[in-house]
Amino acid sequence: TMGSGVDKRALELSVYDVLLENASVKEAAVRSEAVGYDVLGANRELSGAEIELVTLERRNERLKGALRAADADYDFVLVDCPPSLSMLTLNGLCAAHGVVVPMQCEYFALEGLTDLVNTIKQVHANMNPDLQIIGLLRVMFDSRTTLQQQVSDQLKEHFGDKVFDTVIPRNVRLAEAPSYGVPGVVFDPGAKGSKAFIDFAHEMVRRIKKM
């Protein structure tokens, strides 16, 4: 939200309201002039949604229903899920056609990846048969680190062509961008990290077209 130039403190409606069916996507989405796309923002209210959703019907499919109603308005919808296997993440997985898994090439990330892939398989089998893994994206990558290179090699060996060719390097300019309220590709389009994200976007779209 903040990284797209939207002040979460000024939101009148958010994804929280959409999940509780108090607002539609069209009503809650705001236009980010900084980047030129719509943002269905999140604020501190979202942290309480998990508790409230537990008692509700279709608790894992609230986002899916809301996005389906807005399907004609958008070519692509990107759902940024929290890095945990929570009910909010399940809402994202049930709503999506594909998953991009960003991960650092570190040991603990590799351990967590197994759990995530198993969850995606379960969601595909029981809740969302359209769900596919688009690919694994290596992020914050430092090729000078032997361990990261080894983990990267293990990823490619185990997941093959599911690993995106594009690698997002660790980059100072990308790290600075959120404090200015814009994505790295807007903050400094010429930065190495920004160019990598643009390459990734092209690669992702090519894969989606083949799905």
pLDDT-derived band of residue 2, with 50, 70 and 90 as boundaries? Answer: confident
Least confidently predicted of 86-100, 102-116, 149-163: 102-116
**Percent of the chain scored above 90 by pLDDT?**
74
Q: How far are the Cα atoms of 4, 21, 60, 109, 129 from residue 181, in angstroms, in the given order? A: 6, 28, 31, 27, 36
Place of tokens 């209210």: 45
Q: What is the DSSP letter of 2?
A: G
CA distance 178 to 54: 32
Please give the pLDDT value at position 154: 92
Backbone angles phi, psi at 167, to 5 degrees: -120, 130
pLDDT of residue 60: 93
Per-residue model confidence (pLDDT) at position 131: 97
Name residues whose C-beta falls within 8 Å of residue 109's C-beta, 6 or more positions apart in sequence.
103, 151
Residue 211 has pLDDT above 90, yes or no: no
31-35, 69-73, 144-148 — which is least confidently predicted?
31-35
Q: Give yes or no for a contact between 169 and 196, defined as CB atoms under 8 angstroms apart.
A: yes
Q: In angstroms, rounded to a whole number, what is the distance separating the alpha carbons of residues 114 and 26?
A: 36
What does 123-184 look like in DSSP terms, one character per residue? HHHHT-TT-EEEEEEEEEE-TT-HHHHHHHHHHHHHHGGGEEEEEEE--HHHHHGGGGTS-H
Q: What is the pLDDT of residues 107-150, one digit of tens each?
A: 888 888 988 899 999 999 999 999 999 999 999 999 889 999 99
Domains and their CATH numbers in the chain: 1-85 (no CATH), 97-211 (3.40.50.300)
pLDDT digits (tens, 9 = 90+) for 154-193: 999 999 999 999 999 999 999 999 888 889 999 999 999 9
pLDDT of residue 47: 84
Note the residue count of the chain.
Answer: 211
The helix (H) or strand (E) run that includes residue 103 is strand 98-104
| pLDDT, averaged across the chain | 93
* pTM of this structure: 0.90
Question: What's the rounded Cα separation, in Å, for the pair 14 and 63?
Answer: 12
49 membership: H or E segment, kind and range: helix 49-53
